[in-house]
Structure 1
Amino acid sequence: MTRFGIEEEFQLLDEDTLVPVPLGSAARAALPSGTGEVKKEFLTSQVEFSTSPVDTLAAAGEELMAFRRALASFAHDRGAVAIGSGTPFGIGPEASVFASERYDTVAHWLGHIVDSHHVNALHLHVEVPDEEDRVRALNAVRPWMPTLLAVSGNSPFADGHDTGHASWRTVIMRRLPLSGCPPHFRDMRHYRSEVDRLVAQQVIPDIASVCWAARLSANYPTVELRLFDAQLSPEDALLLAALGRALVESATSAGDPVHTGDDIQASLWAAARAGLGATLVDPSSGRLIAAKDAVCLLLQTISPALEKSGDLAFVTDGLDRVLRTGTGAQRQRAAYAEGGITALRALHAVASDSEVHDAAGQQ
């Protein structure tokens, strides 16, 4: 089976105000790096966990659950809560950047943008050994990105307010020069030349700063999907991993349909704004389609790959659950409407300690 890896970014918030607190370094020092890897992140209030390269959802789920439980315990002991959300509820003071040569460079590049750049993502790496296959997969993934975003939006709050968006993180990311939909590339040579030109132009400081919603990893032989908000629960994260892996697997054997970047960018905006209530551009026909119908079309498209990996039942159940109970953004809004910060904090705590769905554990 195709190997993949999940990178999850978490933010540590004061349990009473849900404002970021600078506990990232302490968390990295205290938490074990056994299976998977605990890493620094851009802000002092953040910590990142990367799974090992794995080939099953069950293996990824074990690592995600172990880290989330350890992080939740660490936070609780310090009067904090660790959240899996694209943005924190409250911002408070300006963002504090973790001191390092690279992050100092990125902060200088971002300028004033960095002061409110509180964003947390889930990144999915899908291994594709052949570099030209990687380019073809990246091209084929492009038109499906809005559908994936509609399913995964999980950042409705910022600055203590409802933003009116399902993925406010996506809106924040649009301030960066290479956000959203990547261009269509002819081959690997074209990809490399375009990225090198952007670095030479000083649009980005280095190759690692490519911020498209999907890109080719600079360090691994992978297609990297970067459009997902951080997720409430490990079950949510695994659903996105299964969808993303199957889509990349399906794409490597597909042709190279060219969809206009403007169409995809518009659909990404719609998905960020309205989530599963959005109207998107159909990746197959180019006609307008309801996001929920696009989800069904995506499942139909990737079902052969899901069957091959044994993930079809898990993904079918997971999508049914999201369509029935809502995305992370919808669940956060419902909790806040019911009980304010107290209920929102409880939602994050329960999600961090939730069990992975049986279908993932039975692989």
Structure 2
Amino acid sequence: MTRFGIEEEFQLLEENTLVPLPLGSAARRALPSGVGTVGKEFLTSQVEFSTTPVLTLSAAREQLRAFRLALASFARDHGAVAIGSGTPFGIGPEASVSTSERYGTVARWLGHIVDEHHVNGLHLHVEVLDDEARVRALNAVRPWMPALLAVAGNSPFADGRDTGHQSWRTVIMRRLPLTGCPPHFRDMGHYRATVDRLVTQHVIPDLASVCWAARLSETYPTVELRIFDAQLTTEDALLCAALGRALVESAADMDVPMRDGDAVQASLWAAAREGLDATLVDPFSGDLIPARQAVSLLMQVITPALTASGDLAFAAAHLDRILEAGTGAQRQRDAYAEAGIPGLRALLRG
């Protein structure tokens, strides 16, 4: 089996208005430093948790659940809600950037974009030790990213209103350079030359600011999938991990034509807007197909990898749950429609 790690970004919101609160530093000081790492995030209302490298979903589940429980307890004690959502319900005052030399540099680079850059993601690192194999895996995941996003959309609200999108986080991220679908790379030399040129050109301030929805990590020998919104529950997060790891593991055996980046970008927009009701590009034929059919094709491709890791039953059951009950975005909408902010608060705390 292939090792993987999960990074989850959470945001702390005032419980009555669901507007961000600058409690990130206090949360980091209060939370236990057990297995996994509690880290600073870009905004003062955010906190990040990173698992250790693990081999199994059960090992990841243990770490994620322990942190979520500790964070939820901290939030309740401070009149707050700790959310796993791609965007908060309300924004309120301008975003406050966490103090650090790098975050200051990024904030100056983003300029006015910072003021509304309230986004929370789930980043999945999948270990691929060989450099060239890592580039091939990155190329292989490109046409499947819209299907992943259709399943993982979980940011329907912003500014206290329904955005009309399943993943408003994806829309916000499109204001940055290098977001969405990465280019197709010939080899590691091509990848390195491309990102180095972008830094030299001042398109990005540093290598860590590459914001494609899939990239090669600058810190670890991993393919990093950044397509996922932060997820409502641990089980939702684990589904993203199961699908993403199996996709990277399947790259060596995948025979998918190279898709034009613009076609993938269009499908990413459609998935961000319509989720499982979107129309996407078939990674094999290039035809337009329903998102649910694209997800079914994805499952066919990665079933051998899911079987080898022992994750097939979990992934199939939880994917069926989302296909029937709705993505995180739909569940948020349903909760708000039924009971307003109290209903949404109860879901986010659940």
Which of the five TM-score ranges fits, normalised by the shorter chain? over 0.9
Preserved CA contact (<8 Å) 1:139 1:256? no
**Matched position secondary structure for 1:175:** coil
What one-letter code is carried by the residue in structure 2 that aligns with 1:22? P
Q: Is the 8 A contact 2:256 2:283 kept in 1?
A: no
Task: Check the 8 A contact 2:256/2:284 in 1, yes or no.
Answer: no
Aligned residue in 2 for 1:188: 188
List runs of 5+ in structure 2 lacking aligned partners. Answer: none
Measure, in 2, the Cα distance between the counterparts of 1:288 and 1:253: 24
Structure 1 residue 24, shift from structure 2 partner: 0.1
Residue 131 of structure 2 is aligned to residue 93 of structure 1: no
Between the aligned partners of 1:240 and 1:301, the Cα distance in structure 2 is 16
* Matched residue type, 1:243: L
Shift of 1:33: 1.6
Identify the residue that residue 109 of structure 1 maps to in structure 2.
Answer: 109
For 1:298, the equivalent position in structure 2 comes to 298
Q: Could you tell me which residue of structure 2 aligns to residue 245 of structure 1? A: 245
Cα offset for 1:254?
2.9
Question: In the alignment, which residue of structure 1 is the partner of 2:228?
Answer: 228
**Cα distance between partner residues in 2 of 1:272 and 1:349:** 24
* Correspondence 1:35-114 to 2 at 5 A: 35-114=35-114
Q: Percent same amino acid at aligned positions?
A: 77
Instruction: Answer yes or no: is the 8 Å Cα contact 2:20–2:92 preserved in 1.
Output: yes
Residues 264-283 of structure 1 mapped to structure 2, 5 A cutoff? 264-283=264-283
CA distance in 1, matches of 2:16, 2:348: 13
Q: Tell me whether 1:162 sits opposite 2:162 in the alignment.
A: yes
Q: 1:330 maps to which residue?
A: 330
Query: Is residue 2:98 matched to residue 1:137?
Result: no
**Pairwise CA distance, 1:142:** 0.1
Name the CA distance, whole Å, in 2 between partners of 1:28 and 1:140: 37
- Partner Cα separation in structure 1 for residue 146 and residue 95 of structure 2: 29
* Residues 45-98 of structure 1: per-residue CA shift (max 9 Å, x gap): 000000000000000000000000000000000000000000000000000000
- Structure 1 residue 258: deviation in Å? 1.2
**Runs of 4+ more than 4 Å apart:** none
1:182 alignment partner, SS class:
coil
Structure 1 equivalent of residue 218 of structure 2: 218
- Per-residue CA deviation, residues 142-190 of structure 1 (Å, 9 max, x unaligned), is 0000000000000000000000000000000000011100000000000
**What CA distance in whole angstroms lies between the structure 2 residues aligned with 1:223 and 1:341?**
38
- In 2, Cα distance between equivalents of 1:74 and 1:123: 23
Describe the superposition over 1:78-136 as per-residue Cα deviations: whole angstroms up to 9, x where unpaired. 00000000000000000000010000000000000000000000000000000100000
- List alignment gaps of at least 5 residues for structure 1: 351-363
Q: Which residue of 2 aligns with 1:341?
A: 341
SS at match of 1:11: strand
When normalised by structure 2's length, the TM-score is 0.99
Q: For residues 325-358 of structure 1, what are the alpha-carbon distances to aligned partners after superposition, in whole Å with 9 as ceiling and x for unaligned?
A: 00000000000000000000000111xxxxxxxx
- The separation in 2 between residues aligned to 1:112 and 1:255, in whole angstroms, is 43
TM-score (norm 1): 0.96
The answer to whether the Cα contact below 8 Å between 1:75 and 1:82 also exists between their aligned partners in 2 is yes
SS of the residue aligned with 2:13?
strand
SS of corresponding position for 1:252? helix
- Aligned counterparts of 1:339 and 1:266: Cα–Cα separation in 2: 35
Paired with 2:187 and 2:214, the residues of 1 have a C-alpha distance of 16
User: Does 1:14 find its partner at 2:27?
Assistant: no
Aligned-residue offset at 1:257:
2.8
Aligned partner letter, 2:84: G
Question: Residue type of the partner of 1:197?
Answer: R
How far did residue 252 of structure 1 move?
2.8
Q: Judge conservation of contact 2:6–2:50 (CA < 8 Å) in 1.
A: yes
Given that 2:39 and 2:47 are in contact with CA atoms closer than 8 Å, whether structure 1 keeps it comes out as: yes
Match of 1:356 in 2: none
- How big is the shift at 1:256? 6.5
